[in-house]
C-alpha cells in the first residue's frame, strides 16, 4: 500500500487535535481573564527601566562642545571645536573598571566625580540619557552590577498602591531591568502616568539610580480605534479570499479554505493565550502574514486536486484528494522549512517586537502547513459529499481560467 498522509483516513484525529488545542486556548483565555494585551490594544503607559548604581558624575567647562555617546557598548567622547571633531573611545577591554574610565575621561579635560570605581565598564547602562551633552552641571553615568538586590517583589511593593499596574522582569534577573505597565484613564497624559511611576521609584531607590530605557503611551480612544481597525483588516482579508477562491475554483474550495484559515487564526490565538504572549499590532501583522502564507499552500493543494480530478474521471474523489496532498507535500515541506530557517533564529536571539513576531510566525507556519494538508482537504471531502464535484463543469472552468 502506498504511504502518504492519508488525510481522509485520519481526519477525525486532526479535527480532535485541533479542537482540543483551541479549547485549551479558550480555557486559558477565561482563567487568565483575557489576553495579555499590549498598550496598543489595552491602552496605558509602558516603561522599561533599569535600576543600577551611579559609577561616576561627569561635567565639562572647556572651550569645545563635548558629547558622550555609546557605540558597541563602549563609551565614546566627542569634542567638537572650530578645528573639527575629535572622537575618543573607551573600550571596556582597555578600561575594565570605572576607576580606569574616570582616569581616561580626565585626561581629555572632563571633570569626574568618582562614586564607585569597582564597577565594571562593560556593564554600562545606556538609556534616554545618551547621547549626553556635557556642560558645567554634573551628569551621572550608571553601571549594572553582577548581582542586584532589587527584585520584582520589591518593585511591586513599591508600586503596590497603583491600581492595575503590572511588573515583569526583562532579560537576566541579575540585571535589574523591569517592564512596568500602567492603565490610564481618560484625560491622563504621558507625563501624568510617568510621574506616578517615577515619583515612587525615585523615593525608594534614589533619583539617579533609575535609568529609563523605553517609554510608550497610548490613550484609551486611540487603542479602541486601533483594535477595531485590526479586526476589520482581518475580516476584509478573509472576505476577499472567499471571493477570489470562489471565482478561481468553486464555492466548496473557498469555504474549505476560509474555515482552515479561521482555524489557523484560532490556533495562533490559543498559543498566545496559553503562554501569555503579548497581543499587539505585531500580533496582527503575524496573523495577516500567516493568512497569506497558509492560503498559498492551500491553493497549491486545491489546484492539484482539481487537476487530478480532471485527469481521472470516474475515480473515487477521496483517493484523488489524498493523492493530490501527497504530490504537493515535498513543495510544502521545502517552502515551510526554508521560511523557518530564517524565522526561528529571530525567535531565539532577537528581542522586543521582532522576537514576538518571529515566535508567532514560527507557530503560524507550522499550523498553516498542518491545516493546508489535513484540515482544508478533509473539509473539501465533506463539501464534496454535500455537493459532488462535477468533473466536466470544472474542466470547462479551468480551461476558461487558463484562457484568461
Whether 384 and 317 have beta carbons less than 8 Å apart is answered as: yes
- Residue 1 predicted with pLDDT over 60: no
Report pLDDT digits (tens) over 328-348: 888 888 989 999 999 999 988
Across the chain, mean pLDDT equals 83
Residue 40's pLDDT is what? 64
The Cα–Cα gap between 32 and 30 comes to 6
pTM: 0.63
Closest CA to 139 of 221, 197, 56: 56
Closest CA to 389 of 327, 333, 281, 308: 308
Q: What is the mean pLDDT of residues 245-251?
A: 77
Residue 329: partners with Cβ closer than 8 Å, 6 or more residues away: 4, 5, 373
Q: What is the mean pLDDT of residues 132-157?
A: 85
Q: Where are the beta strands (DSSP E) in 33-152?
A: 36-37, 44-51, 54-59, 65-71, 74-81, 84-90, 111-114, 132-133, 139-142
Neighbour-count burial for 186-198, b at 16+ CB within 10 Å, e otherwise: eebeeeebbebbe
Q: At what angle do helices 376-386 and 251-275 cross, to 10 degrees?
A: 140
Cis ω before 131 (30° cut-off from 0): yes
- Residue 30 predicted with pLDDT over 70: yes
The position carrying cell 510617568 is 194
Question: Percentage of residues in the chain with pLDDT exceeding 90?
Answer: 30
The Cα–Cα gap between 228 and 53 comes to 44
Q: What is the mean pLDDT of residues 118-144?
A: 89
The Cα–Cα gap between 202 and 215 comes to 16
Amino acid at each position: 500500500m502506498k504511504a502518504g498522509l492519508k488525510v481522509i483516513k485520519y481526519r477525525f484525529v486532526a479535527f480532535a487535535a485541533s479542537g482540543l488545542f483551541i479549547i485549551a486556548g479558550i480555557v486559558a483565555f477565561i482563567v487568565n481573564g483575557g489576553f495579555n494585551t499590549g498598550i496598543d490594544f489595552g491602552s496605558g503607559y509602558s516603561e522599561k527601566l533599569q535600576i543600577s548604581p551611579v559609577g561616576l558624575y561627569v561635567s565639562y567647562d572647556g572651550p569645545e562642545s563635548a558629547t558622550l555617546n555609546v557605540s558597541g557598548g563602549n563609551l565614546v567622547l566627542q569634542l567638537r571645536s572650530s578645528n573639527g571633531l575629535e572622537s575618543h573611545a573607551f573600550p571596556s577591554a582597555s578600561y575594565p573598571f570605572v576607576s580606569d574610565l574616570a582616569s581616561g575621561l580626565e585626561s581629555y579635560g572632563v571633570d569626574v566625580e568618582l562614586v564607585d570605581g569597582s564597577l565594571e565598564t562593560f556593564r554600562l547602562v545606556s538609556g534616554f540619557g545618551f547621547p549626553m551633552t556635557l556642560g558645567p552641571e554634573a551628569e551621572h553615568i550608571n553601571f549594572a552590577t553582577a548581582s542586584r538586590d532589587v527584585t520584582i517583589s520589591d518593585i511591586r511593593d513599591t508600586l503596590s498602591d497603583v491600581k492595575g499596574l503590572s511588573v515583569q522582569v526583562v532579560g537576566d534577573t541579575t540585571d535589574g531591568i523591569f517592564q512596568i505597565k500602567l492603565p490610564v484613564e481618560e484625560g491622563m497624559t504621558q507625563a501624568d502616568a510617568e510621574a506616578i511611576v517615577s515619583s515612587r521609584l525615585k523615593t525608594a531607590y534614589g533619583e539617579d539610580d533609575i535609568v529609563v530605557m523605553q517609554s510608550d503611551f497610548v490613550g484609551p480612544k486611540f487603542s479602541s480605534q486601533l483594535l477595531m481597525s485590526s479586526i476589520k483588516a482581518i475580516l476584509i482579508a478573509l472576505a476577499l479570499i472567499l471571493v477570489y477562491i470562489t471565482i478561481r475554483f468553486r464555492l466548496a474550495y473557498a469555504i474549505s479554505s476560509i474555515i482552515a484559515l479561521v482555524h489557523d487564526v484560532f490556533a495562533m490565538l490559543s498559543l498566545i493565550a496559553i503562554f501569555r504572549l503579548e497581543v499587539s499590532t505585531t500580533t496582527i501583522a503575524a496573523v495577516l502574514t500567516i493568512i497569506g502564507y497558509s492560503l498559498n499552500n492551500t491553493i497549491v493543494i486545491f489546484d492539484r486536486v482539481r487537476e487530478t480530478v480532471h485527469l481521472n474521471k470516474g475515480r473515487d474523489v477521496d483517493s484523488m484528494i489524498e493523492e493530490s496532498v501527497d504530490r504537493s507535500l515535498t513543495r510544502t515541506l521545502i517552502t515551510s522549512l526554508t521560511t523557518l530557517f530564517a524565522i526561528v533564529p529571530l525567535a531565539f536571539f532577537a528581542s522586543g517586537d521582532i522576537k514576538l513576531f518571529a515566535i508567532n510566525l514560527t507557530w503560524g507556519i507550522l499550523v498553516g502547513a498542518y491545516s493546508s494538508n489535513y484540515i482544508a482537504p478533509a473539509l473539501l471531502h465533506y463539501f464534496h459529499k454535500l455537493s459532488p464535484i462535477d468533473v466536466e463543469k470544472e474542466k470547462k472552468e479551468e480551461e476558461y481560467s487558463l484562457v484568461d
